[in-house]
Structure 1
Amino acid sequence: MPEVIISIGGRQFEVACQEGEESYLHAAAKMLDDEAQILSDQVGRMPEARMLLMAGLLLADKTASVEDQVAEVRAELAEREAELAGLRNVVVEPTRVEVPVIPASVQDGMAEIAARAEALAAEVEEKAAG
């Protein structure tokens, strides 16, 4: 079992951990040391046991806050998943679109315009070729 030396609040501690968990121990020790440093800056020097207790309580408070936030996010996610599941069962009826009938006089006018355009195009082609 590896022995790791960590520093918390300016004090050295030798701690044993499982093989391969050294990096996790160093990360946890850094978090505890950061809290101890905050305490030291605010309160000054204090007994080792009190410093470790207070730093641990500060971390526990932060952890509890994060756990509350995670619970809120999970609850909201569950709501959204339920809404999504409900939407999957909804049958959407197609929208009916009615197109008004084009009056015959408009159709006749359009046909006449198309015929004139074709005649002009033919005349232009004839002049271009000749």
Structure 2
Amino acid sequence: MAEVEFTIGHKEYSLSAQDGEEKLLKRAAQVLDAEAQAILAQAGRVPEPRLLLLAGLMLADRFASTEERAERAERHLARLQSNPQRVEVPVIPAELKEAMAELAARAEALAERLEEQQDG
């Protein structure tokens, strides 16, 4: 087990973390500290238990809001997947393809004749 040190608000902490989970703990502590710093910037010095409570509540509110948005997006995606909209792709008629191919062949023949006249 590794010992991870971090600061939240105005207090330093040290916790044991499973090997490989040190970065996760540090990242979580940084998120909590950012909330705590925002509270301290607005309210000044706040007792540690209250600071942690307020920061935790702010994060819980943000989490709930994010969770609601994710659920709405999942419902919307499910609706789209269950009822896909019809998409029409224009199709070039066979006659037009043939006419364009014929025009291209004529243009190539004219270009060859022009080259022959310029060379000869």
TM over 0.5, shorter chain: yes
Distance 2:86 2:79 in 1: 11
2: CA distance between counterparts of 1:47 and 1:40?
A: 10
TM-score by length of 2: 0.69
Distance 1:25 1:85 in 2: 45
Cα distance in 2 between the residues matched to 1:28 and 1:39: 17
Show the counterpart of 1:48. 48
Q: Where in structure 1 do 4 or more consecutive aligned residues deviate above 3 Å?
A: none
Which residue of structure 2 aligns with residue 62 of structure 1? 62
In 2: Cα distance, 1:84 partner to 1:2 partner: 51
Gaps of 5+ in 1: 88-130
Higher Cα Rg, which structure: 1
CA RMSD of aligned residues (A): 1.7
- Fraction of identical pairs, as percent: 41
Structure with higher RCO (Cα < 8 A, 6+ apart): 2
1:23 aligns with 2:23: yes
TM-score by length of 1: 0.63
SS of aligned partner of 1:84: coil
How many residue pairs match? The answer is 87
